[in-house]
Every structure is written in structure tokens, then in C-alpha cells.
Amino acid sequence: MAHFINARGSRISNSIQPASIGTSVTIGVWGAAGLTVGPNDRSIATIKSLGPDQSNNSWFALTGVRAGNVMVEAKQGTAVWDFFQLAVQGASTLIPLAKIGPNADGRYTTNPQEVATVSTKTTPAALLSLFSGISGLNETGKRGLIAQHMHETGGGQSCYNWNLGNVRTTSANVPHMYLRDVAEYLSPAAAKVALEAGKQTGSARESSAEEKKRWPARAGLVVVIFNPPNEGARFRAYASLVEGGQALVAKFRHVGASHADFFPALNRGDLDAVAQILHLANYYRGSEAIYAKRMKEWRAIINGQLGG
């Protein structure tokens, strides 16, 4: 078996991935040994091999040549193992961050799906009420979800546009926002492409000495810092707490569909297992032990505030 993934390791099989003329998009193929990979029409997009990593992934850079949609396939002979569609639009409308900041309206691009980034602080009490109607989730499970949110958003202080899980999006065709100084662990090959592409807008750079203390290097991975309008700094945006909560629950339902113990682990309060499953689901790339530790710390704070 083989399947396509994006630079953060999320599966993109059978999806539509946006691109712009002259802009490189990093994609990988898990289990690509013996396969040929590339777009069906090289007049729309070209492909360059970036080599394999230590996790059985082979990496490639796709560059838009002209506007149009093209199928990108991983094939063995004439048999197609996996595919996705690359939608190449005209020249990018991204604003060079190195020259100016956001527009007067707080946005970084002319994309109508982008919204200005607005702080939407949350509280455990509001989230407990929000999660009260989730079937199959007991009180312990609800508080586990709240603890995960609190860890991801610094106790709710760094929640923006009701994105309760700090969920990123590779698509610019859904409501989204941008955050600054976003750290990401990438393979060396993917980091090289991201840094090269980021030179055009000043939106990707290597981590500083101070940032390396906060995000220490991990075996086989490199820390890259993204800023608007880079895809690495793009996050989903929602219109209300209810909409954001529904999206978060839907994402966790998706995790639970692939990892049967996810909701049972939440309900029994096993945050070590929850952290492990979220890591396996590519929700985050950091240390499982630290992620679990932070959730446990927030759960203790939540229990102190809510009682029980």
C-alpha cells in the first residue's frame, strides 16, 4: 500500500490541493518504493524529487506552471495506488511579509475566505456546557477534551476565531486566518523546500537560538518557523463558539473512527493514551510525554475550578 501526505504528514488521498503558478507545494508518499510519482500533465505542474526520510516517506516538490487542474498519481506500472488533484491558480496574491504587515482590515491576502485574526478567549465552564450534549462522552471525557483545548491554547488565552483545537488547514478555500511565529517539525527535505519557498514572502525561517530552547530539535526532524501568509501559519476560522465546538468534536470523531480506544481513553481519564493516539493521528508532532503532562496539569486546574 502507498498513500499521499502533505508536509505535516496528514493524508491527502483523493483530495483537491490548491497551488499557485510559480509556487512549490511539498507532498510525500508513504511506501513509495518501486512507484512512479507525478502529475499527468507536466505543462500544468512539474515535480522534483526531494528524497526519502527515515519514516518510509518519499518527498517531492510540485510547482505550478500554468492555471488548471491536474491529477497527481502514485503508480506501479499502469496500476494507480493513490492520487489527488492539484488545482493550480494564477500567480499568488500573497503579500510579501518582509515588506509590509497585514492589510488595514487585518488580513494578509486578497482571498475572500481569509478573515482577520480575532481573540476569542474561552473558559472551562463554557466548554463544559458546550460539550454537554456529546453522546458517548462522560464527565471525565468532557474534562479531558477541555484539558486538551487548554493545553493547545495556553489556557484559552491563545484561542482565535473559535478554533478550539488550534487546527491548521492546507486549504485556502475554507474560512481561515493566520497566526504568527508558528513552529513546525518537518523532515529535512520538507524543511528545505519550505525555507526556499518562504524566501519569496519572508514567511518561513529557521528557528532562532532562543526558539530552539522552546522547540528543541528531534531526531530526524527540523524546526521551521512560519508566518503569514505561509500555509504553515494558516488555521481554520469559525464564526461562533458553537461552530468551533462542532468542528472540534467532528475532528475528534474522525480520530475515534481510526483509533477505537480514543473515546474510551477519554472516558476513563487515561490522558497518556489520549496523547499517544493524537500523536499517531498526526494531531501534533511534539513529545507525547510532555503533551500528556500538560493535559494532566490543565485537568487538575479544571477540576479545581469546576469541582469534582
Per-residue pLDDT of 71-129, as tens digits, reads 899 888 778 888 888 888 875 544 444 334 678 888 988 889 999 999 999 889 889 88
62, 115: one domain: no
How much is the pLDDT for 239?
95
Q: Domain range spanning residue 49?
A: 3-91
Max mean pLDDT among 94-98, 261-265, 279-283, 286-290 falls in 261-265
Nine cell digits for residue 90: 494564477
Q: How is residue 163 written as a grid cell? A: 478554533
Instruction: List the CATH number of the domain containing 8.
Output: 2.60.40.10
My answer on whether 143 and 15 are in the same domain is no
pTM, two decimals, is: 0.67
CA distances from 270 to 38, 115, 138, 261, 295 (A): 43, 37, 13, 10, 10
The answer on 208 and 102 residing in a single domain is no
Judgement on whether residues 33 and 132 belong to the same structural domain of the protein: no
Q: In the chain, what percentage of residues exceed pLDDT 70? A: 94
Number of domain units in the chain: 3
Together in a domain, 281 and 161: yes
Instruction: Give the other-Cβ count within 10 Å of 107's Cβ.
Output: 19
Of 52, 53, 49, 50, whose CA–CA distance to 38 is shortest?
49
